[in-house]
């Protein structure tokens, strides 16, 4: 019986010596998370191209033989929203006042 009491006291001492309780959150000291800034700006995305051919020289009126042709390329664009994720700059605050009173004499 004495062994059981000693064993239970030892278990109680070990349980009380733990750094935290099982239901309490662990303490974590970390730097504050950097704030992210989302920037949305309109842009144009290149979707494709349309190639048109125009004749530059035709041999005769009665014959439609094309001797040379020029190509005109037109871009096809669509409006999109460009999203950029950046971190906000960290601004350091500078205090210009004394935190404790300045004592020149202690009399």
Number of domains, the chain: 1
From first to last of its 107 residues, the chain has per-residue pLDDT tens of 888 889 888 888 887 776 555 555 666 666 666 778 888 999 999 999 998 887 776 666 666 677 777 788 899 999 999 998 888 776 666 666 656 666 666 66
pLDDT at 52: 87
pLDDT at 100: 64
Q: Is residue 12 part of a domain?
A: no
Residue 58: name the closest of 49, 68, 48, 50 by CA. Answer: 68
Q: Which helix (H) or strand (E) holds 68?
A: strand 66-87
Q: Is residue 25 part of a domain?
A: no
Q: Is residue 58 part of a domain?
A: yes
Quote the domain boundaries for residue 69.
46-87
Alpha-carbon span 80 to 43, nearest angstrom: 5
pLDDT at 78: 92
pLDDT at 107: 61
Alpha-carbon span 62 to 78, nearest angstrom: 43
Q: Is residue 5 part of a domain?
A: no
- Does the pTM surpass 0.85? The reply is no
Q: Is residue 13 part of a domain?
A: no
Q: Is residue 52 part of a domain?
A: yes
Q: Is residue 3 part of a domain?
A: no
pLDDT at 101: 64
Q: Is residue 72 part of a domain?
A: yes
Residue 29 in contact with residue 18, Cβ under 8 Å? no
Alpha-carbon span 14 to 8, nearest angstrom: 10
The pairing of beta strand 36-58 with beta strand 66-87? antiparallel
Alpha-carbon span 26 to 12, nearest angstrom: 21
């Amino acid at each position: 019986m004495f062994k059981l009491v000693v064993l239970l006291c030892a278990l109680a001492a070990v349980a009380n010596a733990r750094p935290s309780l099982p239901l309490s959150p662990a303490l974590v000291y970390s730097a504050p998370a950097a704030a992210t800034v989302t920037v949305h700006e309109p842009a144009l995305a290149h979707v494709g191209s349309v190639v048109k051919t125009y004749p530059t020289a035709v041999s005769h009126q009665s014959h439609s033989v094309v001797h040379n042709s020029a190509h005109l390329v037109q871009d096809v664009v669509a409006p999109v929203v460009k999203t950029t994720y950046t971190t906000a700059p960290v601004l350091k605050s500078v205090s210009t006042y004394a935190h404790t009173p300045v004592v020149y004499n202690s009399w």
